[in-house]
Amino acid sequence: MPDAKRQQQAAPPRFEELLARAQALVPALRERAAEAEELRRLPDATIAELHASGLFRMLQPARVGGSELPFRALFELTAVVGQGCGSTAWVLANLAAHHWLLGMWHPEAQEEIWGESADSLISSALIFARGRARRVPGGYRLSGRWPFSSGIDASTWNMFGAVVSDEETGQNEARMFLLPASDYKIIDTWQVIGLAGTGSKDVEVSDVYVPAYRTLSTERIRGGPNRGSELNPGSLYRLPAVSLFGFAIAGVSLGIARGAIAHFTETTRTRLSAYTGRNIADFTNIQVHLAEAAALADAAEAIALRDCDEAMRITEAGIVPSLEQRARYKRDGAFAATLCTRAVDLLFSASGGGAIYARNPIQRAFRDVHAANAHYNLNWDVNGAIYGRVALGLPPDAPL
């Protein structure tokens, strides 16, 4: 973007302004949650509001008009949005994180996308085992079919993960590929019971040429300088992205839990038992369930923000977080989400038979938080085992 044009634009919103805008969106998102489920994607009005708020661009480099906030902002702001609609928070978390990731790519790739429009949205399909690529002169040829491409309907680009095999050495490399919407096919498979509004459909690529500058090895985003450092020297773009991504989506789990806590608290104050006529708020077990759910959510937030701040502090000092620290980030992102899932489970149980009615937001929170926890980066067994292996002196058996 030319400097003169950039200078004419208003300064990007800082955290406090984005926080206020996110909070202002919550009531409308809550009202629109059922519509998002029915559409199986975010309503156009929601996408427009997220654009207008600047939330999509919270981690985008300042040089192209983004807010370039500290990484913790992604966790905090998606947690606010998630109080209104888990699906909206999930799409926001992913698409905002992709602006962050693009800041680590070759300058030519950044210019191709942001030069066309700094508001361009990039979805992703980063299950590497589902894609295959081979080297050709000037780049690669990519093929595959991937599930779970969240927010793909609103995106004009997609970030694919695939395995590149070297026939001479027999070694495999995990690499990412950027393709415009014209180069892939969307397959509508998204018939699900949780996070239904995310539109996380399958996507297919059939032997498409991808120039080398629109590819990036995952080795280059595990912390420290990368292909984008010349343009984006800030610490944000030198973080270990592979290890921290769990926090990008764990904020969604926190938002869902906090939304459920708020709804449960408000409705329980005046709710009477169908069997005894007593005020439910007087039941000690209800009080304890609410207390535990709130404590679990607060603990999840504290764990996540501690690690986000530590990673930024270490990176600002010019140091790449150690293997042990990166394993802990994987562990804590999944654990934070697990705590939030436990919080929602407690409230669902405490709500009794009323929880199963479609009109009760608690049932949607229950479905959405479990869907979020199914993600590889939030799965406790997967990420707990990674930490355990490293702590016991074994190789992580997973990319860190």
DSSP string, 69-86: --THHHHHHHHHHHTT-H
pLDDT surpassing 70 at residue 4:
no
Domains contained in the chain, CATH given = 3-114 (1.10.540.10), 122-219 (2.40.110.10), 239-391 (1.20.140.10)
Give the other-Cβ count within 10 Å of 311's Cβ: 24
Q: What DSSP state is assigned to residue 320? A: P
The SS3 of residue 269 is coil
Condensed to tens digits (0 to 9), the pLDDT of residues 257-283 reads 999 999 999 999 888 776 677 888 889
Confidence (pLDDT) at 61? 98
User: Could you tell me the pLDDT band of residue 362, with boundaries at 50, 70 and 90?
Assistant: very high
pLDDT: which is higher, 312 or 4: 312
Does pLDDT of 3 surpass 60?
no
CA triple 223-126-48, angle to 5 deg: 95
The fraction of the chain above a pLDDT of 90, given in percent, is 90
Per-residue confidence (pLDDT) for residue 2, from 0 to 100: 46
Angle between helices 86-102 and 107-114 (to 10 degrees): 130
Other beta carbons less than 10 A from residue 320's beta carbon? 16
Task: Residue count of the chain, please give it.
Answer: 400
Residue 278, pLDDT score: 80
Confidence of residue 8 (pLDDT cuts 50, 70, 90): very low
Residue 7: what pLDDT?
Answer: 39
Look over the chain and give the mean of its residue pLDDT values, rounded to a whole number.
Answer: 95
- pLDDT tens for each residue of 163-198: 998 877 778 999 999 999 999 999 999 999 999 999
Average pLDDT over residues 322-327: 97
Write the pLDDT tens digit of every residue in 119-152: 999 999 999 999 999 999 999 999 999 999 999 9
Q: Give the span between the Cα atoms of 398 and 393, in whole angstroms.
A: 14
Beta strands of 191-261 (E only): which ranges?
201-211, 215-217
pLDDT of residue 272: 78
How much is the average pLDDT of 97-116? 98
Could you tell me where the DSSP H helices lie in the chain? 3-8, 15-39, 44-53, 72-82, 86-102, 107-114, 241-268, 284-316, 323-350, 361-373, 380-391
Q: Is the pLDDT of residue 6 over 50?
A: no
Query: Please, which residues bridge with residue 215 across strands?
Result: 177
Q: Average of pLDDT values for 74-89?
A: 98
What pLDDT shows up at residue 166? Answer: 82
Q: What percent of the chain has pLDDT over 70?
A: 97
**In the prediction, which pLDDT does 221 show?**
95
Mean pLDDT, residues 215-219 taken together:
96
DSSP of 303-314, one letter per residue? Answer: HHHHHHHHHHHH
Q: Which residues contact 83 (CB under 8 A, 6 or more apart)?
A: 26, 30, 255, 256, 258, 259, 262
